[in-house]
């Protein structure tokens, strides 16, 4: 279950899969879950100022007993003075250097792209982060940043799954042209939010051929796009399922194309495979309540009249 790496445009390498501590984990005690991820085999931990999980990640890293070179740590700028922010993140993590530091979202730097990126370049030059990049940037925002950048962002971490691939394709193409690696989060959306959607069929076919799970097929699809996977879970069996993707053969071009085509129309109208039955069930419950109310009303009215 050896995790391979992806080479960045600055010569550094990033593990192809990361354990994320955002969204679900925001503001929670993540120590035991990060420890579990590391024990399962994860060597890349993704955190952020905005997640409020940096201290927990730092505690887990210390408890792991790993040498610094054995773990890859990403954090993200979430507002305030940039130099103060990165030093605060390093202090919370108990590190002297980040492997990767990102602008979490364009909104955190407003229209100050040029000035903000200069601060990030200084962070790399000062050795506070080996690599620097961005997150949730569009093509136009990357163009604006790159126009004056001395150092091209190493990565752009974005939401990427089969149902938003068509709209994301220009961004992936632009990133590839400039050697920017895509990191993909929320890639399991077809399974977690839209089960029963059109992507399920080609995913199931590929899973049957490979003897894999649908989850693993989606992660293989992410890898087929040249992206680094950022995922999370609280369950050890899922961690092992994710990491086992490294031992699976890649999807065929036909399988990737079929998943692309199935997701091209976007997600289904509802996030549940039985949405029609649930929709139809609402009027039945309303009718039942009306009947009960009517019976009770008639009963008490008759008693009152008598």
Neighbours of 60 (CB within 10 A): 24
Beta strands 129-135 and 98-103, pairing class: parallel
Residue with token string 């894999």: 212
Catalytic: 300?
no
Helix residue spans in the chain (DSSP H): 31-40, 54-64, 82-93, 113-125, 139-146, 165-177, 189-192, 200-210, 214-224, 236-243, 253-263, 275-305
Of 72, 77, 101, 104, catalytic: 104
Quickly count helices (H) and strands (E) in the chain.
Answer: 12, 10
Cα–Cα distance measured from residue 259 to residue 254, given in angstroms and rounded to the nearest whole number: 9
Q: Which of 51, 72, 185, 242 is catalytic?
A: 51
Q: Is 104 a catalytic residue?
A: yes
Distance CA(51)–CA(48), nearest Å, equals: 5
User: What's the DSSP call for residue 251?
Assistant: P
Q: Give the catalytic positions in this structure.
A: 51, 104
């Amino acid at each position: 279950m050896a995790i391979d790496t992806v080479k960045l445009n600055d010569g550094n390498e990033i593990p192809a899969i990361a354990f994320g501590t955002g969204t679900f984990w925001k503001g929670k005690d993540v120590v035991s879950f990060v420890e579990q991820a590391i024990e399962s085999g994860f060597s890349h931990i993704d955190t952020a100022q905005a997640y409020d999980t940096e201290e927990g990640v730092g505690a887990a890293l210390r408890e792991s007993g790993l040498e610094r070179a054995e773990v890859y740590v990403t954090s993200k700028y979430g507002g305030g003075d940039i130099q103060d922010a990165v030093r605060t993140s390093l202090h919370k993590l108990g590190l002297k250097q980040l492997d990767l530091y990102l602008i979490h979202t364009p909104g955190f730097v407003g229209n100050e792209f040029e000035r903000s990126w200069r601060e990030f370049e200084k962070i790399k030059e000062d050795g506070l982060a080996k690599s620097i990049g961005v997150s949730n940037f569009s093509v136009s925002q990357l163009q604006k940043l790159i126009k004056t950048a001395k150092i091209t962002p190493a990565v752009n971490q974005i939401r990427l799954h089969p149902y938003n691939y068509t709209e994301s394709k220009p961004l992936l193409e632009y990133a590839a042209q400039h050697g920017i690696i895509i990191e993909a989060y929320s890639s399991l959306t077809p399974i977690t939010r839209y089960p029963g959607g059109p992507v399920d069929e080609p995913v199931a076919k590929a899973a049957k051929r490979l003897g894999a799970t649908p989850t693993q097929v989606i992660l293989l699809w992410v890898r087929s796009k040249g992206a680094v996977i950022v995922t999370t879970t609280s369950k050890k069996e899922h961690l092992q399922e994710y990491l086992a993707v490294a031992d699976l053969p890649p999807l065929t071009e036909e399988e990737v194309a079929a998943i692309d085509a199935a997701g091209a129309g976007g997600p289904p109208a509802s996030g549940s495979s039985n949405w029609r039955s649930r929709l139809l069930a609402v009027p039945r419950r309303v009718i039942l309540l009306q009947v009960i109310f009517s019976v009770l009303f008639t009963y008490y009215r008759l008693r009152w009249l008598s």
